[in-house]
Homo-oligomer: A and B are copies of this chain.
Amino acid sequence: MATMTAAQRRQAAKAAFEEYLQVCPAHQVLEIIGSKWVSLVLSRLADGPRRYAELSRALPAASAKMLTQTLRALERDGFVTREVTPAVPVRVRYALTPLGERLVPLLAAIKQWADEHIDEIHAARARYDASRP
């Protein structure tokens, strides 16, 4: 049938858009770096390679599970390398790849924008909250 109800058209449009989102590069990257611990881990690694326990100490609010999960995702996407030294006890070293290093300036740009505008955001927020009880 060539004819669709309005509801069917909405469903089709929604499905098409969701597929588009999965392909859109900007959205994929935003999903990666917007994920809770990614920017924090990357900024630690930007200073140089770190062992697992060092990262864990530097990010005390991240549970071991989330830290591992984040590092695995970053490894999968090619941002960090994971290097295991088979000793007793084991030593695992994480470091940025060239791709990971190219991400650093972008994060720096975001940080700079944030520093420059956070006051304005807070002011807007205070105004908004004050205007409605």
Contacts and interface: CB of A to CB of B under 8 A. Distances in A.
A87 interface: no
A35 B31 CA distance: 8
B110 A106 contact: yes
A83 interface: no
B114 A29 contact: yes
A118 B129 CA distance: 39
Nearest to A121: B77
Instruction: Give chain A's interface residue range (CB within 8 Å of chain B).
Output: 35 or more
Interface in A46-78: 59-61, 75-78
Chain A binding site: helix, strand, loop or mixed by DSSP? helix
Given A29-B117, A30-B34, A78-B124, 6 more contacts: A25-B118, A26-B114, A28-B114, A30-B114, A99-B120, A103-B117
A-B pairs, 3 with minimum CB distance: A34-B34, A78-B124, A25-B118
22 contacts: A17-B60, A17-B61, A25-B111, A26-B39, A26-B107, A26-B115, A27-B40, A28-B114, A28-B121, A30-B39, A30-B114, A32-B121, A34-B34, A34-B35, A76-B124, A76-B129, A77-B121, A78-B120, A78-B121, A78-B128, A99-B120, A99-B121
Interface of A: 10, 13-14, 16-18, 21, 25-35, 39-40, 59-61, 75-78, 99, 102-103, 106-107, 109-111, 113-115, 117-118, 120-121, 123-125, 127-129
